[in-house]
């Protein structure tokens, strides 16, 4: 006893309503300088970001806040030397975050100084 070849299938064309349910939505949120995604590609670009004006503004704010703290002449001179070194580090093409964090920690403790230090760290990114 043999069976004949038999196939059974149901084909249905997808309408717009069904197609809309199948579509998935993916949202990418990027933050920071030169933020991007390379999907199955190689990124051979060279990107440069300059924070020159922002660095100058932050350094001047830091100097102004130090002068308001009422430090002794020696303490203020030492703090300004730290600020000068901080400016030098920030102007490098690739500033060292650990050195910058150490320099900020070496500054006198005050809320205004901590706030400016936090903005410097944020400017560098994570």
pLDDT in tens, 9-53: 888 776 766 666 665 666 777 766 677 777 777 877 766 665 667
> In this structure, is residue 112 part of a structural domain?
yes
> In this structure, is residue 33 part of a structural domain?
no
108 neighbors 36 (Cβ within 8 angstroms): no
Write out the two tokens for 59.
């350094």
Q: How many domains does the chain have?
A: 1
> In this structure, is residue 29 part of a structural domain?
no
> In this structure, is residue 2 part of a structural domain?
no
Helix or strand (DSSP H, E) at 57: helix 52-68
pTM over 0.85: no
> In this structure, is residue 105 part of a structural domain?
yes
Look at residues 116, 107, 118 and name the one whose alpha carbon lies nearest to residue 84. 107
Q: What is the pLDDT of residue 5?
A: 82
CA torsion sign for 65, 67, 71, 75 is positive
> In this structure, is residue 38 part of a structural domain?
no
pLDDT in tens, 77-94: 999 999 999 999 888 888
> In this structure, is residue 90 part of a structural domain?
yes
> In this structure, is residue 16 part of a structural domain?
no
The domain in which residue 95 lies consists of: 52-124
H helix intervals, 1-126: 16-22, 52-68, 73-90, 97-106, 111-124
CB-count exposure of residue 78 (10 Å: 0-12, 13-18, 19+)? middle
């Amino acid at each position: 006893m043999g069976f004949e070849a038999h196939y059974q299938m149901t084909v249905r064309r997808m309408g717009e309503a069904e197609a809309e349910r199948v579509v998935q939505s993916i949202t990418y949120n990027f933050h920071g300088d030169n933020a991007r995604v390379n999907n199955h590609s190689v990124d051979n670009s060279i990107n440069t970001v300059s924070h020159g004006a922002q660095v100058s503004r932050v350094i001047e704010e830091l100097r102004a806040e130090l002068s308001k703290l009422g430090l002794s002449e020696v303490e203020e001179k030492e703090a300004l030397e730290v600020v000068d070194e901080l400016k030098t580090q920030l102007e490098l093409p690739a500033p060292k975050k650990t050195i910058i964090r150490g320099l900020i920690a070496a500054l006198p403790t005050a809320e205004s100084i901590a706030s400016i230090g936090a903005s410097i760290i944020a400017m560098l990114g994570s």
